Chains A and B, each alone.
Chain A
Amino acid sequence: MIKIEGLHKSFGELEVLKGIDYEINEKEIICVIGPSGSGKSTFLRCINMLEEITAGSVFIDGVKVNDPKTNINDIRKDVGMVFQQFNLFPHMKVLDNITVSPRKVKNMDAKEAEILARQLLEKVGLADKANAYPEQLSGGQMQRVAIARALAMKPRVMLFDEPTSALDPEMVKEVLDVMKQLAYEGMTMVVVTHEMGFAREMCDRVLFMDQGLLMEEGTPAQIFNHPNHERTKAFLSKVL
Chain B
Amino acid sequence: MDFPNIRFDMIWEYKELFLHGLWVTLSLTALGYLGGIILGLILGMGKLSKRKWIFYPCKYYVDFFRGTPLLVQILLIHTALIPTIFGHSLGYFVSGVTALMLNCGAYNAEIIRAGIQSIEKGQMEAARSLGMPHSLAMKTIILPQAFRRMVPPLGNELIALLKDSSLVTVIAANDLLYAGKVVSGAYFRFWEPYITVAILYLLLTFICTKIIAYVENRFSNSYVPSSRRKIFSFGRSA
Contacts and interface: CB of A to CB of B under 8 A. Distances in A.
6 contacts: A50-B128, A87-B123, A89-B123, A101-B132, A128-B237, A135-B223
Contacts of B224: 133, 135-136
A111 interface: no
Interface stretch (B52-60, B72-80, B91-99, B140-148): B140-148
B238 A79 contact: no
A76 interface: yes
Given A50-B125, A83-B122, A135-B222, A89 B141 contact: yes
Interface in B208-238: 222-224, 232, 237-238
A124 interface: no
Contacts of A89: 123, 126-127, 141, 145
Main secondary structure of the interface of B (DSSP, over half): helix
Given A105-B136, A135-B222, A74 B122 contact: no
Interface residues of A, number: 32
Interface of A: 48, 50, 73-74, 76-77, 79-81, 83, 85, 87-91, 100-101, 104-106, 128, 131-136, 146, 149-150, 153
Contacts of A73: 131-133
Given A100-B130, A106-B131, A135-B222, 19 more contacts: A50-B128, A50-B129, A74-B131, A76-B131, A77-B130, A79-B129, A81-B129, A87-B122, A87-B123, A89-B123, A89-B126, A91-B223, A100-B141, A104-B132, A104-B140, A105-B132, A136-B232, A150-B130, A153-B131
Nearest to B136: A104
Nearest to A149: B130
B131 to A, nearest CB: 4
Contacts of A133: 222-224
Nearest to B134: A73
Nearest to A79: B129
Given A73-B132, A100-B140, A132 B125 contact: no
